[in-house]
Chains A and B, each alone.
Chain A
Amino acid sequence: MSTPPDQQRREESAGLMEYSTESLVPFGPIHPALKEPEYFKLVLEGERIVNVIPRIGYVHRGLEKAAESRPWVQNMYMFERTCGICSFVHSLCYGQAVEELTLYQVPRRAKYIRTIIAEMERIHSHLLWVGLMGHWAGFDTLFMWVWNDREVVLDLVEAISGNRVHKSMNAFCGVRRDMPENMADRIVERMKFLTDRARYYRDIIDSEETMLERTENIGRVSAETVEKLCAVGPMARYVGIKRDVRLNDPYAAYDEVPLDVITTTEGDVHALLRLRLDELVASANMVAYAVKNLPDGPIRVKVPPIIPAGEHSSHCEAPRGEIFYYVKSSGGRTPDRVKSRQPTMANLPTALEMLKGQTLADIPIVLTAIDPCFGCMDRMSFYDTETNRSWTWSGEQLRQYGINYYFPERSKKQRGLTRAADSLTNQCVREGL
């Protein structure tokens, strides 16, 4: 890099100082090895955010380029590794685009198994998100309870596929593993348990002061803006837009399994919490239905390694929203071009819009609210153009700032914990990790 970051930051801020009292806050990663690095330049006026400019790509691995030199089948498992939370749906979406190019049909039993795994993935992803929201709002008890319940669904996924995260269940025109025998009752019973838990958490977020204070009336955007910015998934549904690929363009067995698409119209972070918990209940019901009505038959059709020339696209509803794959074949052993678009990319413009007008203390909540594959605010640098003072906060300090801002009397108890976390962060920075 030609300019040292500090100098660059000073130059950027100096440009702003000439005509305004705004401060520029670079907000972002210290190392790509940390979870979910993204970088935002935040322009502040006092406490309020007036503009946000994103910079992503710190963990861009060039999968689209890599796909062009790998066989069709290998790509399916490579694209599954795009994400460590919604992994199955990526291989499903890529697989569907390729299946369109072949003349083979997916067996009905395989479609049902795909639906079961995809919905279990949604349950686990939504539970993970609710826990993270609790954590960033300063309600760690919720975080621990929810993540404990998440183990229930992960255990089921493991029993079916052999893996907790990267299931590697998909194959072209089918699935690789059949459902284990005599599991239906256990799955139905566990889904009932998760439904009860989700209803309980809904009561908590509606009555617990911590959650209400931090989430109500935060991150409001109008339905018109969301529509214009092409947001997907829960980010579109929380302002009342009924956009769900499972409903609009059913794939797998979604045309046979009763589907309940949840929308709300409140349009704040609290509505997002309720929406995701309601979706979790809907998903649990779908899993229970699919398991009870699982058809008999083969689970897979063998597809030759050379895919005929042509081009197709496919979209699926991942837990975070619509994912999109575009596949072009020239009739060879490797694809000519694969394009993949993840929901966070589509939701980022809306997230920037949500941040505008919020205070510094709301950043963790709003950014976590879009479920951005981004739990990490590891380090923030602040630069105040009026006093020429700059300082740096770790993500934990930012979280604490948010909690102190809303609940000043509670903060004393937690200081000991924060200090321990800070010294750990500082140690990591010192050692250049």
Chain B
Amino acid sequence: MSETLAQLGKYAEEAGTKVTSLRKNESSVEVSQDHLKAFLARLVNDLHVRHLMTITGLDLGQSLGIVYNFSKERDTIHVRTSVPKTKPETLSITDIVPGAILYEMELHDMFGIEFAGNPWKDQKLLLPEEWPADLPPPLLKTTKPDQIRRRLGLEAAKP
């Protein structure tokens, strides 16, 4: 086990959780919303795990999963958290990792998660400007491609 992972285990314990190993060099840690920012700040500033590869959104049924995919040399670290579907809000991490800005915008477009503190949070990145407000975010499991096509008036184009 590398030094980074050993240290990560200690931090996880202090945040009341533990690290699971997915394979050699790939680990995952589940952190609650309350501890998230503090945990990430320690990860980035103290452990120097500074490369955020991306942020992955997951539809977990009742809640939405947010996975922060970090890497440092050989280690890949997934920091997971979840927000309820009824209130999809979390804090932006752009103050800790400035490179997260576009990934947060992407998640906002695709899963409807609000990132409080993201400087560009009110803009769209991937979806069109005229995306109807009554359409649910496209990557939710309950959103069907047919539904989007019908609402956008694209059904007629189909043979």
A: which residues have CB within 8 A of B?
A: 1-2, 53-57, 60, 62, 64-66, 68, 100, 227-231, 243, 248-249, 310-313, 315, 322, 324, 326, 328, 337, 339, 341, 345-346, 348-349
A57 in contact with B125 given A228-B98, A326-B69, A346-B99 (CB within 8 Å): yes
Contact between A312 and B51, CB atoms less than 8 A apart:
no
Which residues from A are CB-within-8-Å of B109? 57
8 Å CB contact of A230 from B23, B56, B67, B97: B97
Question: What's the Cα separation between A161 and B80 when bound, in Å?
Answer: 40
In the complex the two chains form, is A341's CB within 8 Å of B26's CB? no
B50 nearest in chain A by CB position = A227
Measured CB to CB, the nearest residue on chain A to B110 is: A64
Q: B30-41 interface mask toward A, CB cutoff 8 Å, 1 = contact, 0 = none?
A: 000000000000
B47 to chain A, nearest CB (A): 14
- Does B76 lie at the interface of the complex (its beta carbon under 8 Å from any beta carbon of A)? yes
Contact B73 A248 (CB under 8 A): yes
Given A1-B130, A55-B124, A228-B97, is A324 in contact with B69 using a C-beta cutoff of 8 Å?
A: yes
Contacts of B53 in A (CB 8 A): 230, 315, 322, 324, 341, 346
Give the chain B neighbours of A312 by CB distance below 8 A: 22-23, 26
Name 27 A/B residue pairs within 8 A (Cβ), A-sorted: A53-B120, A53-B123, A55-B125, A56-B126, A57-B109, A60-B127, A62-B138, A64-B110, A228-B50, A228-B97, A228-B99, A230-B50, A230-B97, A230-B99, A230-B100, A249-B74, A249-B76, A310-B22, A312-B22, A312-B26, A324-B54, A324-B69, A326-B54, A339-B56, A345-B54, A346-B54, A346-B99
**B71 near A315: Cβ-Cβ < 8 Å:** yes
Top 5 A-B residue pairs of the complex, sorted by shortest distance between their CB atoms: A230-B99, A57-B126, A341-B54, A229-B99, A339-B56
CB neighbours of A53 from chain B (8 A): 120, 123
B101 within 8 A of A: yes
User: Are A337 and B25 neighbours in the complex by a CB distance under 8 Å?
Assistant: no
| Residue among B57, B69, B73, B97 making CB contact with A313, cutoff 8 Å | B69
| Residues of B in contact with A, size category | 35 or more
The answer to whether A313 and B58 have CB atoms under 8 Å apart is: no
A-B contact count (CB 8 A): 97
Decide yes or no whether B108 CB sits under 8 A from chain A.
no
Inter-subunit contact B126/A248 (CB<8 Å): no
Distance of A10 Cα from B151 Cα, bound (Å): 30
Is A337 within 8 A of B128, CB to CB? no
B contact residues around A228 at 8 Å (CB): 50, 97-99
Q: Please state if A348 and B102 are interface contacts (CB–CB under 8 Å).
A: yes
Chain B contact residues: over half helix, strand or loop, or mixed?
mixed
Given contacts A100-B23, A243-B51, A328-B58, contact A57 B139 (CB under 8 A): no
Chain B residues with Cβ under 8 A from A315's Cβ?
53, 71, 76
Report Cα–Cα, A169/B65, bound state, in Å. 34
List, in ascending order, chain B residues with CB within 8 A of A56's CB: 125-126
Beyond A53-B120, A315-B76, is A326–B139 a contact (Cβ under 8 Å)? no
A326 proximity list for chain B (CB < 8 A): 54, 56, 67, 69
Q: Are A311 and B126 in contact (CB under 8 A)?
A: no
A112 and B126 CA atoms in complex are apart in Å by: 37
- Is there a chain A Cβ closer than 8 Å to B46's Cβ? no
CB-based contact A65/B125 at 8 Å: no
Whether A349 pairs with B99 at a CB distance below 8 angstroms is: yes
Residues of B within 8 A of A55 (CB): 123-125
Residues of A within 8 A of B128 (CB): 57
Query: Nearest B residue to A338 by beta-carbon distance?
Result: B56
**A312 closest partner in B (C-beta):** B22
The docked-state distance in angstroms from the alpha carbon of A322 to that of B69 is 13
> How far apart are the CA atoms of A57 and B130 in the complex, in Å?
13
Q: In the bound complex, how far is the Cα of B41 from the Cα of A260, in angstroms?
A: 34
Contacts of B76 in A (CB 8 A): 249, 313, 315
Asked if B99 and A339 make an inter-chain contact with CB atoms under 8 angstroms apart, the answer reads no
Collect the chain A residues with CB atoms within 8 Å of residue B125's CB: 54-57
Cross-chain contact B98 with A337 (CB below 8 angstroms): no
Q: Which of A228, A230, A231 has the most CB of B within 10 A?
A: A230
Whether B145 is near chain A, meaning CB under 8 Å from some CB there, is yes
CB within 8 Å of A: which B81-117 residues:
97-103, 106, 109-110
> Besides A53-B120, A53-B123, 8 other CB < 8 A contacts?
A56-B126, A60-B126, A65-B145, A230-B53, A231-B99, A249-B76, A326-B56, A339-B54
Chain A residues within an 8 Å CB radius of B57: 339
Chain A residue, CB-CB nearest to B48: A227
Closest to A236 in B: B51
Cα A229 to Cα B52 in complex, Å, equals: 9
B129 at the binding interface (Cβ < 8 Å):
yes
A313 lies within 8 A of B26 (CB): yes
Nearest Cβ on chain B to A291's Cβ, whole angstroms? 28
Known contacts A230-B51, A230-B99, A312-B26; decide if A248 and B74 are in contact (CB<8 Å).
yes
How far is it, in angstroms, between the C-alpha of A314 and the C-alpha of B36 when the chains are bound? 24
A residues near B73, Cβ cutoff 8 Å: 248-249
**C-alpha spacing A181/B18, complex, angstroms:** 52
Using Cβ atoms and an 8 Å threshold, which residues of chain B touch A341?
53-54, 103
